[in-house]
Structure 1
Amino acid sequence: MKKKRIKILIAISFFLLCFSLPALAAEDIMPLADVKAGMTGYGKTVFKGTKIEKFPIEVISIMNDRSLDQDLILIKLTGKEVEEYGGIAAGMSGSPIYINDRLIGAIGYGWSNSDHRYGLVTPIERMLKLIDSDRLNSQTNVGQRPAEVNDFAPEENFIKTTTPLMVSGLSGRALKQLKSRLTNYKLDVIPSPGIEESDKSNARPRPGEAIAVQLVRGDISIASIGTLTYIDKDNILAFGHPFTNRGKVSYLLSRAKINAVIPSTEQPFKLGSPYNRLLGSITEDRGAGIAGKIDTYPRITPLYVAVYEDGKLIKEVSLQIINDEHLFDSLANTAALQAVDSALDRIGPGSAHSKLKIMGRGLPELQVESDNMYYSQNDIGSMALTDFSQLLNLILTNPYKEINLIDIRLELDFSKKDSVALVQEAKVLNDQIHPGDELEVEVKLHKYRDGIEKKIVKLKIPEDIEPGMATLFIDGGYTGETNRSQLPEELPENNSNGDGLKEAKIAGHKTFESMLEAYLDSADNNDLILQLYPAYSAPPAYEESSAESPTERFKNQKEDPKSKDEQQAKNELEQETAADNAAEQEIKERFTTDYVLEGNLNLNLEIIQPDADTVNSTATEAETAQSSDNLKQPEDKKETALERDSNQDTEKENNESK
């Protein structure tokens, strides 16, 4: 019996050893409790090319923060390598540190404008939690930070050993825009040589190797360079501090090549380039570092930008961007701006026509298309990206549903011509206007330094329009439709339930499809817009002959909650129906022109009801015509009528005789 108990205890111990410390199977670790000041060891990193080199370290102190389980290890780098390269450099984040060949953690933090030989190590025990499946299942979603990150902010006292964001293919204001958009992530944006194509290594990655977390790849590259800390089968750990700190993420992972370590008084940094061949993906980005999977790849969105000038293709840019709705907008807009600037090689006036096609799961029929025309006297390049930026932002930030982007294609055709005009004059050509007529309007467009162009447009007037004075608005699409003063609507009485809770509804869009339709249906900059606002009729007065007065009806509804709810639902339905009918009855037309149109005009006109005399005269003529037709009946029909009268008289006499 005793031997049986011993066997059971051994089996349990083996089980706990295998499943509670999976790291032991990959690499021997030293618990933080065993790390003491004065111990010496070494670290691994790449200083140039892809060769992993060792550098000596000494443990100075353990910085305890046991209440938050956020202890850090203070170390000092020694040796000729450190003297040569100036100490801890940006890009060394994640460099594994060993004592007695046992892993204690990764370089994660340091100080700027100080002795760069000193740094802080994130214990490996904290980093291993990133690949603990139980912990990952309990973590928050993308964009939400775990409590430990909020509670612990080491950057208040010292800075993380930055992972420089290496950028190639961006320059000028596009590079400046990227830095501005990524300010919240505290990333150092550094121009780099570009993507390395010749990654011929088929070996598994090793701790100490330089790695790249890629956000954009292709003709433009945006990637962060750091160091691999730990690998166990297909799981990897790196950096020793957060990259974007977004929790669950989906970034691209590859090896990197280090070109050189650049000295700096603030902090030296590694200048490197990502390799084109991918290793896998980064799936976790939290306080202790980043974690990922080898041979598992994230979703990406292709972006194609074609730039033309007067119909001739002058630049094509093809990219792959990580499918992260919080970063995609910034990355895509920066890339598009760079494509335009490098193609035009100028910032100045001109006109442009844009065509945009976005494909994605969740979009109507899986895609949307939009085109528009632009003009600017100062910067046509950035102006032409307005539709691209606005529509992309609407899709990514809409509050109703997640859209998984599949593909984006943007075509821009630029011209140095001043394709812009002012809506200068307008006049109605009709002598009189009646319900059902076609309103004919002559509009004069003053083209920029190119004379006047007349345009005659027509607007159909409904048969049931209210006679009287009406206002016609003529707008240029670029100026936008003039804000109309609406008649004030009566505010509905607040409804309350038995608990006294108020109910309210916000006016506006209720679905993503409604938002998208409203945007796509808005006027283009080169549209000429005609909209007629007829006279409003007075609301019908209350009739005393009604079987029930409004006061009595209200009392009855108040006494009967069910009736009140039914009436409320009926009223809401009637209001929605009235709004839909108003939209359908909108008297409006848009006409496409060859110019970006500015300015707006309005003129008053009268819808004339046909005269009563004319109506009576018409009716009299109709009656006379009908009588004439009756007199012109055929002879055989007249004889038949006489015979019928004679027969009736004979029958009457017979009845009297009887």
Structure 2
Amino acid sequence: MRLRFRILLLLAMACRTVYPALPIIPVDSLKPGMKGTGYSVFSGTKPEPFQVEIIDVMHRTTPRGDIILARLSGAGLEQTGVIAGMSGSPVYIDGRLVGAVAYAWAFAKEPIAGITPAGEMLKIWELPDTVKTGAVRQLGSGYRSELNLPPVPVALSGFSSRLEALVTPVLSRHGLVPVAGGIAGGDDTAELVPGGAVGVALIDGDVRAAAIGTITAREGNRILAFGHPMFLAGAVRLPLTGGRIHSVLPSLNISAKLFSPSKPVGVVNQDRLTGISGIIGPEAPMIPVRVHIQSPVTDDSYRFRVADHEQLTPDFLPVGLIQTVLQTEGMMEDYALETRLDLIFARSGRNRVEIRHLFSGTEPLSQMMEKFSAELALLFGNPIEPVRLCEVRAELNFHPGRRICQLISARSERSQVQPGDSFGIFLRLRDYRGEETEKRVMLTIPPATPPGPLTLTFTSRDEFLNQELGDAGELAQPKSLDGLLLMLSESGREDELVIAGYVRRSGLRLSNQAELPQAPPSIQRVLGVPRSLGEVRQVPASRLFKTVVPLDRVVVGSATVEVEVK
């Protein structure tokens, strides 16, 4: 897919026609009171005119740029003010391009807009179009409040108040705001002309999410839009879409367009301070996702694709999963959510990992979004090896009722044991209603366990991993992507209790995370010399064994039991 995209992009650039210079008005030629016309889509697919009056020019509002202040009128703008989704709307005076509507002020009493000069936007076409694979970019977001940029509206299919509440924290990190959207058909999309609606697809398929803007200029198969950055991500490969504007939602804060994106029609290749640029025709890489949702009342499957980007994929893949769930399950109250996420990579060596979770409590969907986002961010942001995720398969199973309990304490039915003995451990559990129960689990002491005190710890998998990482320090950090995938596969599983046995004798933790419990003093002296520091670490207590006990609910808390081995 990546090679095919590069070939198409090179062909598109090689065959590009050389066009005469776009007629523009330099900023220095603008005077207060000059009048012009702008174009944007307010309903349907056709650009409509609105009137523009130049107020003044604010010089050097950015280190190298100016902002043109203008008063807008017509097309209902006196009632709505400047509309989120108008960003990129071209403004002309005497047939020459002034720039793009890009800035607005919340709660303004008049439709005063900031216009990005056309000359600054045209420079985007001169920038190198090279994406460094594997480089993690820091997406810009703080600049929005500094430059009074309106939040970029993102049209979400299956929009609801619950979806809005769940995804708003994620979108706001990127300077985005959710609005209701749908799915536009092939013939139901705006013309890709100046003033036409345009979108940047983040999710495409059975569920969709796309940022909304307006085309400023077009030459052949290349376009300029927005008049401001989307993420300030530099050279990118994001899907470009058309779409339909259904209406404008007036607001005292910032009004917004209601938009349904089409299927991708090209690629966004630049995301810069003065706007975005795109090429119509080539296809941007996206990651396919297959979802199977099962509950006592439904059995559904969905397919969608998510933008392939180091920092966008970790946030928007969970958003797509949330969209599929809410389209299927609606407003279930008390439930437990069992998830299996199968990630498939394009690489030699270990090329897939399955991550399993059980979420329960007041808001399992929110827990799922936060956990998946953190795990994917860990993968894409790892400093070891670039990640190429080529497919995702998700299984989401809903179970009625809450499945969560707290581990209050543990006690052994025997205070003294011998190597090879099996005996019972009683776990005291408290559910979310406060009711307490006792569960008996069997434990077998390994035959090679030395005599003396033995400490048994009872924790969740994640708590056990945190403890191991804390004890081993840097030695426990994965040194390869295979190691990172293994660590992720062993995390989660919140319905499993880890029982570990420790002796109070120092051991050695090796760089491959293997442990030498109770290493003889001679070995400790050899491996502990200065030249070996960083490869071996002494640990105060040696773990002799670890066993996992499956439970039927999420378990939180921990407990410790001491027994004597004879």
TM-score bucket (shorter structure): 0.7 to 0.9
What corresponds to 1:361 in structure 2? 346
Against the structure 1 CA distance between its residues 67 and 215, is the aligned structure 2 distance closer, same or farther, given a 3 Å change threshold? Answer: closer
What displacement does 1:397 show? Answer: 3.1
Amino acid at match of 1:393: A
Of residues 477, 482, 485, the one that matches 1:513 is 482
What displacement does 1:245 show? Answer: 2.1
Amino acid at match of 1:122: T
Alignment check: 8 A CA contact 2:475 2:534 kept? no
1:475 to 2:463 alignment: no
RMSD: 4.3
What corresponds to 2:311 in structure 1? 326
Alignment check: 8 A CA contact 2:353 2:485 kept? no
CA distance in 1, matches of 2:369, 2:53: 54
Against the structure 1 CA distance between its residues 398 and 99, is the aligned structure 2 distance closer, same or farther, given a 3 Å change threshold? Answer: same
Could you state the TM-score of these two structures normalised by the residue count of structure 2? 0.78
Please, which runs of 5 or more residues in structure 2 have no aligned partner?
Answer: 1-16, 507-517
What corresponds to 1:73 in structure 2? 68
1:118 to 2:87 alignment: no
Q: Deviations over 1:574-596 (max 9, x none)?
A: x36x88xx98x832332435454
Against the structure 1 CA distance between its residues 240 and 572, is the aligned structure 2 distance closer, same or farther, given a 3 Å change threshold? Answer: closer
Alignment check: 8 A CA contact 2:59 2:65 kept? yes
User: Where is the helix percentage greater, Structure 1 or Structure 2?
Assistant: 1
What corresponds to 2:378 in structure 1? 394
Report SS of the residue matched to 1:50: coil
1:127 to 2:85 alignment: no
Alignment check: 8 A CA contact 1:357 1:369 kept? yes
Amino acid at match of 1:274: P
What corresponds to 1:92 in structure 2? 86
Q: Deviations over 1:540-560 (max 9, x none)?
A: 899xxxxxxx9xxxxxxxxxx
Q: Which stretch has the larger CA shift, 593-602 or 323-332?
A: 593-602
What displacement does 1:302 show? Answer: 2.1
Amino acid at match of 2:216: T
CA distance in 2, matches of 1:327, 1:316: 24
1:175 to 2:160 alignment: no
What corresponds to 1:413 in structure 2? 397
User: Where is the strand percentage greater, Structure 1 or Structure 2?
Assistant: 2
Larger radius of gyration: 1
What corresponds to 2:548 in structure 1? 590
CA distance in 2, matches of 1:259, 1:270: 7
Alignment check: 8 A CA contact 2:121 2:224 kept? yes
Amino acid at match of 1:221: R
CA distance in 2, matches of 1:598, 1:109: 48
Report SS of the residue matched to 2:164: helix
What displacement does 1:267 show? Answer: 4.0
CA distance in 1, matches of 2:286, 2:218: 24
What corresponds to 2:283 in structure 1? 297
Q: Deviations over 1:209-266 (max 9, x none)?
A: 1111221223332222221111122321011112222223332211121222333343
Amino acid at match of 2:45: T
Q: Deviations over 1:31-87 (max 9, x none)?
A: 334434443332222222112223333333333339943123233335x53567655
Against the structure 1 CA distance between its residues 381 and 418, is the aligned structure 2 distance closer, same or farther, given a 3 Å change threshold? Answer: same
What displacement does 1:374 show? Answer: 4.7
CA distance in 1, matches of 2:151, 2:565: 72
Against the structure 1 CA distance between its residues 101 and 404, is the aligned structure 2 distance closer, same or farther, given a 3 Å change threshold? Answer: same
Alignment check: 8 A CA contact 1:283 1:293 kept? yes
Report SS of the residue matched to 1:460: coil
What corresponds to 1:316 in structure 2? 301
Against the structure 1 CA distance between its residues 269 and 23, is the aligned structure 2 distance closer, same or farther, given a 3 Å change threshold? Answer: farther
What corresponds to 2:510 in structure 1? none
CA distance in 2, matches of 1:347, 1:528: 28
What corresponds to 2:412 in structure 1? 426
Against the structure 1 CA distance between its residues 446 and 508, is the aligned structure 2 distance closer, same or farther, given a 3 Å change threshold? Answer: closer
Q: Which stretch has the larger CA shift, 32-41 or 42-51?
A: 32-41
CA distance in 2, matches of 1:294, 1:74: 31
1:28 to 2:23 alignment: yes
CA distance in 1, matches of 2:108, 2:18: 35
Amino acid at match of 2:84: A
What displacement does 1:288 show? Answer: 0.7
Could you state the TM-score of these two structures normalised by the residue count of structure 1? 0.68
Report SS of the residue matched to 1:586: strand
What corresponds to 1:216 in structure 2? 203
What displacement does 1:357 show? Answer: 0.5
Amino acid at match of 2:306: I
Alignment of 1:141-220 (within 5 A): 143-144=137-138, 156=146, 159-160=148-149, 162-192=151-181, 194-199=182-187, 205-220=192-207
What displacement does 1:432 show? Answer: 6.2
Between the two proteins, the alignment pairs up a number of residues equal to 527
What displacement does 1:129 show? Answer: 1.0
CA distance in 2, matches of 1:357, 1:289: 36
Alignment check: 8 A CA contact 2:334 2:400 kept? yes
What displacement does 1:281 show? Answer: 1.3
Alignment check: 8 A CA contact 1:178 1:330 kept? no
CA distance in 2, matches of 1:82, 1:523: 52
CA distance in 2, matches of 1:384, 1:586: 33
CA distance in 2, matches of 1:481, 1:391: 17
Of residues 211, 236, 248, the one that matches 1:249 is 236
Report SS of the residue matched to 1:65: strand
Greater relative contact order: 1 or 2 (C-alpha under 8 angstroms, separation 6 or more)? Answer: 2
Amino acid at match of 1:586: L
What corresponds to 2:54 in structure 1? 59
Of residues 99, 108, 115, the one that matches 2:102 is 108
Against the structure 1 CA distance between its residues 534 and 508, is the aligned structure 2 distance closer, same or farther, given a 3 Å change threshold? Answer: closer
